[in-house]
Amino acid sequence: MEDFQETIAAVTVFIMSLALLVSLPANIAILAVFYREPKVRVPSGIFVLNMAWTGVLGAVVFVLLIPDLYMGVAIAASNPAACSAREFLNEMYSALTLFAVLLVTGNRYAVVVLKHRYQAYFTRCHCALYVGIAWLLALAYAAGLTITQSQNAAIGNFKCKLGFIYPESVAAVQLTFLGVLFILTIGITGALGMHFYSQRKVLPLPLNFYSKESIERRMAPGKERRIAKNLRVLTIALASILGCFGLQIGGLVLAVSTGRWLRMVYTCGVTCSYCACLIHPYLFGYLNRRLKQPMRRLCRRACNAVFCTHSRTRKLTRVESSLSRMESGMPRVESGFSFDSSKLRIIVSTDEPNESGVELTRSKMDLAATRHLRP
């Protein structure tokens, strides 16, 4: 039994580490874009910013939970406060992740459906107020549940000593709070998908419109392309929400209906909720129209600063060597330079009297060099 628990802990640590190490740069990039680009500081961007801060918080919480994942029983037996702290962090992060996705989804629905009334309900103050209320509710939920668990011996035996009996009342509270957020998120996403689908039925789209190699999709007008993109993004978002939070909600339903809890379901559910911070920065951050171009510029600068110093040198060396090979295969030339006010002209004339001079601009020489370098 102990070897099985150690295996579960090792797999959990590996999955969480992979998810958080990949998602942490994406969340930091979103925060950096908001810091550097004033144009993206719009009311709807506050919800994306909240999602990025939630992802960074998940990385910090995961670092604090690493010792508990390996030595949870020993820590809880010697210090019950450590067990309570673990449960507080887990419940708070699960609630914050669901709140972050719900706020972003609700904002997207309001932008599409409310349209002209959007600015009346979603100013900067209103958006900051919604985020503050979400954090307060998540904090109150996690604190109340942790206090209840610390005062109940049966819950303490389950949480800290691997028991299997779980009170139905506490599971019902968890299911009610997280289930309402989960159902609202799924419902809003589904309603927005139905809205776009109803608009799609009005448009005369071909049958193979959604295939990647479809010429009709690339040549379609802007409205048709936007509807197709929104439907694809909503489908991926719905699948990610179900995959990240469905197992945790299913474990709570099992605990309420049977009064028993499978620890593997609990562990897998928490792990999947942590994996949400890997998927959602891309779905709701990178695919945001205002954030996409600044994030591309930021990532390009970072890649150039880290990787392109030596690659530029290698590229220049390759171009020079290719030009030298090209010149070695040509007849003897006499090159003359004439400066113009608009561009530099390089005039190359051969020794043969019947051939006229060939005039190449700098751009044409670069194009010839790049074509020569192609495999």
- Nearest Cα neighbor of 331 from 362, 364, 355 is 355
Could you tell me the two tokens for 336? 């003359």
Query: What 8-state DSSP symbol labels residue 340?
Result: -
Q: Does a structural domain hold residue 303?
A: no
Inter-CA distances, 340 with 153, 264, 345, 347, 357, Å: 89, 75, 7, 12, 17
Residue-wise pLDDT tens for the chain (375 aa)? 455 555 655 666 666 666 666 777 777 777 887 887 777 777 878 888 888 888 788 777 766 666 555 555 444 445 666 667 777 877 888 888 889 888 888 888 888 887 778 888 888 888 899 999 999 999 998 888 888 776 665 555 545 444 445 667 777 888 888 888 889 988 888 888 888 777 765 555 544 544 545 554 554 556 666 677 777 777 777 877 787 777 778 777 877 777 666 655 666 666 666 666 666 666 665 556 666 667 667 767 766 666 665 555 555 556 566 666 565 554 444 444 444 444 444 444 444 444 444 444 445 555 555 554 444
Q: Does a structural domain hold residue 314?
A: no
pLDDT of 320: 60
- Nearest Cα neighbor of 148 from 137, 159, 138, 135 is 159
pLDDT of 58: 75
Domain that holds residue 76: 1-203+225-290
H or E element: which one contains 359? strand 358-361
pLDDT of 270: 64
In the 3-class helix/strand/coil scheme, how is 69-124 assigned residue by residue? HHHHHHHHHHCHHHHHHHHHHHHHHHHHHHHHHHHHHHHHHHHHHCHHHHHHHCCH
For residue 354, give the amino acid letter. Answer: N
Query: What 8-state DSSP symbol labels residue 166?
Result: -
Q: Does a structural domain hold residue 180?
A: yes
What is the total count of domains within the chain?
1
Walk across the sheet containing 358-361 and list its strands. 333-339, 344-350, 358-361
pLDDT of 373: 47
Q: Does a structural domain hold residue 345?
A: no
Q: Does a structural domain hold residue 298?
A: no
Inter-CA distances, 245 with 50, 175, 218, 220, Å: 19, 12, 35, 36
Label residues 195-230 b or e (16+ Cβ within 10 Å = b): bbeebbeeeebeeebeeeeeeebeebeeebeebbeb
Provide the terminal-to-terminal Cα distance of the chain, rounded to the nearest Å: 58
Contact by Cβ (8 Å): 278, 22:
yes
Contact by Cβ (8 Å): 107, 187:
no
State the CATH number of the domain containing residue 9. 1.20.1070.10
In the 3-class helix/strand/coil scheme, how is 236-303 assigned residue by residue? HHHHHHHHHHHHHHHHHHHHHHHCECCHHHHHHHHHHHHHHHHHHHHHHHHCCHHHHHHHHHHHHHHH
Q: Does a structural domain hold residue 310?
A: no
Q: Does a structural domain hold residue 258?
A: yes
Contact by Cβ (8 Å): 12, 267:
yes
Contact by Cβ (8 Å): 95, 178:
yes
Pairwise CA distance, residues 351 & 357, whole Å = 10
